[in-house]
Amino acid sequence: MSVTHIPQVAIETRHLYKRFGDVTALDDINLRIAQGEFVAIMGASGSGKTTLMNILTCLDTATEGQVFLDGTDAAALDEEGRRRFRAEKIGLVFQQFHLIPFLTALENIMLAQHYHSVVDEAAARKVLEQVGLGHRVTHLPSQLSGGEQQRVCIARALVNETAGYFRG
């Protein structure tokens, strides 16, 4: 007898719609992403990519339809629940890095832990090593190249070992 492994679903949308007045930004989006799966959301400017990402990261809500994130129905979460869910389950990497200019690389990563309610300097140092910046721990963002700043942001998203990572 063979055993089939069915991957856990990290993200699922069912008949997802988002409307802004007369404009339909998302029209019947059905999506299923397994844990550990890598997915790129691509499309023309104005096609709804940012709107979808905002909904999948609990920064916005759908007009209609269902969103399940790591088994949680996003519609059941109030604003505080969505904030807590983002802090505990979602790692965000923005196009604009949003590093605090007066904090070191290590401190910028540990800031993400603060919102997760667990501060672990060893874990922050470990993810800096993983992204190749172990030697830049005490550097401020202004002392890092653009690529290094981006890797600090990636480390910040990884440090809390969240269920999903999103890059805008």
Q: In what order do the strands lie in the sheet with 23-34?
A: 23-34, 9-20, 64-69, 72-73
Rounded to two decimals, the pTM is 0.59
CATH architecture observed for domain 9-76: 3-Layer(aba) Sandwich (3.40)
Q: 60: Cβ–Cβ under 8 A, 6 or more apart, which residues?
A: 18, 51, 54
Q: Are 56 and 38 in contact (CB under 8 A)?
A: no
**Predicted confidence pLDDT, tens digits, the chain (168 residues):** 555 555 688 889 999 999 999 989 999 999 999 888 888 888 777 788 889 988 998 889 999 999 998 888 988 889 998 888 877 777 666 655 689 899 999 999 988 776 666 778 898 899 999 999 999 999 999 998 888 888 898 888 888 765 554 454
Domain map (residue ranges) of the chain: 9-76, 95-161
